[in-house]
């Protein structure tokens, strides 16, 4: 039994000594991409935390973790926040595919892939959605045909975030087209640095884009890199979605959550645009909305803590849909409040039109965060899951 007071004291001392100044406060959080350069302190922080097993604190030691229990994990996160340290490593390697391999991988797959994820030696993209398969993911048509010890993959994945600088991609492919559609799918790991994989960014209205289309033309993946067994991809892929949703929800302790969080400046910003009277926001409607939002935010934080405390395994099951959805809706409500408070100040696209940088950033954030109820499964899909799997309502 670990003495938690001792653990806290040792953690605090280690972090003070090993977290470089450039890894505290706002700044870069790496996803492990080989083609993206890291600032020196960010790199040093990642290396030190990886050596300590704290990029994936709850994973087994043999795969790069530190085998922390829930209580120790919580202390580590509190101590990271105390010194305003950034998360040393994030992304789909530590948060999505790593925990999935831990749950479904063979010993050989775990030994090969998990240290790569834990040390950030390559970034991961997610190859699920296709032009004809989003919410209805089981209608995916990317094919994988076995040839000797390899699969030959052909097809088109869309909305593959960050793919232009990722090194690996986990892909849902159809391995048995003759079987019922949920039963002929596999999850396979693909090296993106090969001729058969090409990536083209999908530009958004803003000009920039995290999105890509990823095309597979006779791409090769070893048979050994199918996770959880051939034709078992629907089960494995759905579990990975729970890791994704619990990451969005802030309750995935299987990966590298934690570190500093932005303090909410919403009340201060609303006050700035709406004005105050005797120290209170003068508009009563805005005051009520803001108060309700603050209460929802606190309730959300308590729910996140409770969900983590109740965890029996590395990530919750269907609860992740509920917490993801409420988290997203609450964030979007905060954005709406600020946009309403800013009025016409909020609708200017760049600083050349007289807007401040903060106003432009708020506008772009408001637009971007609308995607929170689409990414990782839409709002309607989460409501369906909650109705059927959490509340047990009939189909
Ligand atoms: C920011 C962001 C990042 C993303 N990153 C990735 C990524 O890295 N990799 C990846 O594979 N995908 C990614 N996606 C894609 C995402 O998973 C899909 O957009 C999502 O699953 C919805 O699919 P769709 O866009 O095809 O919409 P559709 O499935 O066509 O849905 C259209 C509308 O119909 C509704 N609808 C559909 N089915 C039902 C139903 N049964 N009941 C009620 N309503 C329904 C939906 O809720 C939605 O409002 C990303 C999306 C976003 C926004």
CA 247 vs CA 88, 215, 250, 257, 304: distances in Å: 16, 27, 5, 8, 11
- Indicate if ligand 1 lies below 6 Å from the C-beta of 375: yes
- Same domain for 135 and 93: no
Provide the pLDDT for residue 349.
82
- Same domain for 281 and 386: yes
Provide the pLDDT for residue 205.
64
Q: Is the pLDDT of residue 259 over 60?
A: no
Q: How does pLDDT run across 189-201, given as a tens digit for each residue?
A: 999 999 999 999 9
- Same domain for 274 and 386: yes
Distance CA 359, CA 363 (A): 6
| Atom 3 in ligand 1: residue holding the nearest Cα | 375
Q: Is residue 237 part of a domain?
A: no
Domain that residue 153 falls in: 122-231
Q: How does pLDDT run across 271-310, given as a tens digit for each residue?
A: 999 999 998 999 999 999 999 999 999 999 999 888 888 7
Q: Is residue 32 part of a domain?
A: yes
Q: Is the pLDDT of residue 208 over 70?
A: no
Q: Which two tokens stand for residue 20?
A: 């470089």
Domain boundary among 231, 254, 274: 231
Q: Is residue 129 part of a domain?
A: yes
DSSP 101-118: HHHH--HHHHHHHHHHHH
Q: Is residue 12 part of a domain?
A: yes
Q: How does pLDDT run across 345-369, given as a tens digit for each residue?
A: 888 888 888 889 999 989 988 988 9
Q: Is residue 256 part of a domain?
A: no
Provide the pLDDT for residue 253.
80
- Same domain for 349 and 320: yes
136 C-alpha to center of ligand 1: Å? Answer: 8
CATH of the domain at 269: 1.20.140.10
- The pTM for the full model equals 0.94
Specify whether the CB–CB gap between 219 and 163 falls below 8 A.
no
- Same domain for 203 and 150: yes
Provide the pLDDT for residue 144.
98
Q: Is residue 238 part of a domain?
A: no
Computed on alpha carbons and rounded to an integer, the radius of gyration of the chain in Å comes to: 22
Specify whether the CB–CB gap between 199 and 213 falls below 8 A.
yes
- Indicate if ligand 1 lies below 6 Å from the C-beta of 175: no
Confidence of residue 37 (pLDDT cuts 50, 70, 90): very high
Domain boundary among 181, 211, 231: 231
Q: Is residue 254 part of a domain?
A: no
Distance CA 319, CA 138 (A): 22
Domains contained in the chain, number: 3
CATH of the domain at 14: 1.10.540.10
């Amino acid at each position: 039994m670990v003495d938690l007071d001792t653990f806290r004291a040792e953690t605090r001392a280690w972090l003070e000594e090993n977290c470089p100044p450039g890894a505290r406060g706002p700044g870069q959080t790496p996803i492990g991409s080989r083609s993206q350069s890291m600032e020196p302190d960010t790199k040093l922080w990642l290396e030190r935390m990886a050596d300590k097993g704290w990029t994936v604190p709850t994973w087994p030691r043999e795969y790069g973790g530190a085998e922390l229990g829930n209580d120790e994990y919580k202390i580590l996160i509190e101590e990271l926040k105390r010194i305003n340290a950034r998360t040393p490593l994030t992304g789909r390697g530590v948060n999505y595919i790593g925990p999935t391999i831990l749950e479904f991988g063979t010993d050989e797959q775990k030994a090969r892939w998990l240290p790569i994820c834990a040390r950030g030696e390559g970034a991961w993209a997610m190859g699920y959605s296709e032009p004809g398969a989003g919410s209805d993911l089981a209608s995916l048509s990317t094919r994988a045909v076995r040839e000797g010890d390899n699969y030959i993959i052909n097809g088109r994945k869309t909305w593959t975030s960050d793919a232009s600088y990722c090194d690996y991609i986990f892909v849902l492919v159809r391995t048995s087209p003759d079987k019922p559609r949920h039963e002929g799918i596999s999850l396979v790991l693909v090296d993106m640095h090969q001729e058969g994989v090409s990536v083209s960014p999908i530009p958004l209205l803003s000009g920039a884009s995290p999105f890509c289309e990823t095309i597979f033309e006779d791409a090769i993946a070893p048979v050994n890199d199918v996770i959880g067994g051939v034709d078992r991809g629907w089960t494995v892929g759905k579990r990975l979605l729970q890791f994704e949703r619990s990451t969005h929800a802030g309750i995935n302790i299987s990966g590298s959550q934690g570190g500093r969080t932005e303090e909410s400046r919403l009340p201060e910003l609303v006050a700035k645009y709406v004005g105050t009277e005797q120290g209170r926001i003068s508009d009563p409607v805005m005051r009520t909305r803001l108060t309700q939002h603050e209460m929802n935010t606190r309730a959300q934080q308590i729910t996140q803590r409770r969900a983590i405390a109740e965890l029996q395994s590395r990530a919750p099951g269907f609860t992740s849909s509920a917490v993801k959805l409420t988290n997203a809706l609450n964030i979007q409500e905060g954005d709406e409040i600020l946009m309403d408070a800013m009025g016409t100040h909020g609708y200017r696209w760049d600083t050349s039109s007289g807007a401040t940088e903060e106003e432009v950033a708020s506008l772009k954030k408001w637009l971007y965060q609308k995607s929170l109820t689409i990414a990782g499964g839409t709002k309607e899909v989460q409501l369906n899951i909650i109705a059927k799997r959490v509340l047990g309502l009939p189909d």
